[in-house]
Amino acid sequence: MSNNIIDGKAIAAEIKKEIAAKVALMIDAEIEAPHLAAIIVGEDAASQTYVVSKEKACHDVGITSTIYRMPEKTTEKELLEMIEFLNQDPDIDGFIVQLPLPKHINADKIIEKINPDKDVDGFHPRNIGMMQLGLPTYLPATPFGIIELLKRSNVEVAGKHCVVLGRSNIVGTPISILLSRKSEYGNATVTLCHSLTQNLEEITKQADILIAAIGQPEFVKASMVKKGAVVIDVGIHRIDDSASEKGYHLVGDVDFEEVASVAGKITPVPGGVGPMTIVSLLQNTLLASKKRTRQ
């Protein structure tokens, strides 16, 4: 790989080894392996792919995983009952409800129902509040993965200008909170941009670290990036491609070809942030199981 590429796949593999070693120690001590459950409602293709990847990653490190598949027509009440069942199940350390949910289900109501101690996605309002206050909690998987990626690539963030594109509850908002906090890997000056931001290019060009999480294929062009900036691409989009065996290829929110020649460091898609999100979920599941075993 070219030397300015941040290899998320390799860094994730390193962390997976660390997690596998910790799980092996639990098993040696005759403590049950951590157990993650995922609920998926409906047939959204991307969600199916994510859940299968999460299951495989669990298997790789010795974490037990169970997927609960529910049909598209599942009612909000039925899903709330399933969550209550997992909240009560002592064999499940943590669980996630894969998003997006079908439109007839209120995602906020669902997330609020999850026992915060089992909310390994870190999406429950209590856990978001704790993150905001700098108290120990589960960090949302993608922001947690981005922080780990920056740390392990020796990117200094304190005092740097980080520009975040996109203010979703899953990525943009929490990463801007984490990087601006007065804490060990924070202290950055953060600008959070969104669809109504004016003079966007003027702002992105000031970024020492640019994080793209807007959900628009190849939106970030070389003209928007300062020479030497660190560019983190959170997007993942399937583009129809009859020349490819799968019938599609993947791109991010960043025009990789253009931006790689300007950036000091850049994450690819695939193989950048994606694998880090999954290992963060494994780390949170391990943490959840420590609460159970009080180690």
Q: Which residues bind ligand GUN (CB under 6 A)?
A: 96-99, 121, 141-142, 170, 277
Hey, CA dihedral for 173, 163, 149, 294, is it positive or negative? negative
Nearest approach in angstroms of CB 292 to ligand GUN is: 21
Strands 230-233 and 161-165: unpaired
Please say if 54 is a catalytic residue.
yes
Nearest approach in angstroms of CB 97 to ligand GUN is: 6
Q: Is the CB of 141 or the CB of 266 nearer to ligand GUN?
A: 141
Can you tell me the distance from the alpha carbon of 30 to that of 84, in angstroms, rounded to the nearest whole number? Answer: 28
Question: Are the beta carbons of 97 and 111 closer than 8 angstroms?
Answer: yes
Q: Is the CB of 142 or the CB of 173 nearer to ligand GUN?
A: 142
Closest CA to 269 of 200, 205, 215: 215
Pick the catalytic residue from 98, 118, 233, 255.
Answer: 98
Question: Which pair of structure tokens corresponds to residue 111?
Answer: 């997330």
Pick the catalytic residue from 54, 113, 118, 265.
Answer: 54
Q: Is the CB of 74 or the CB of 277 nearer to ligand GUN?
A: 277
Please say if 121 is a catalytic residue.
yes
Can you tell me the distance from the alpha carbon of 133 to that of 52, in angstroms, rounded to the nearest whole number? Answer: 33
Give the DSSP H or E segment for 211. strand 209-212
Nearest approach in angstroms of CB 58 to ligand GUN is: 14
- Rounded to the nearest 10°, the torsion over CA 192, 198, 200, 206 is -70
Nearest residue to ligand GUN, scored by beta-carbon proximity: 99
Nearest approach in angstroms of CB 117 to ligand GUN is: 17
Pick the catalytic residue from 121, 208, 253, 255.
Answer: 121
Q: Is the CB of 142 or the CB of 289 nearer to ligand GUN?
A: 142
Active-site annotation, residues: 54, 98, 121
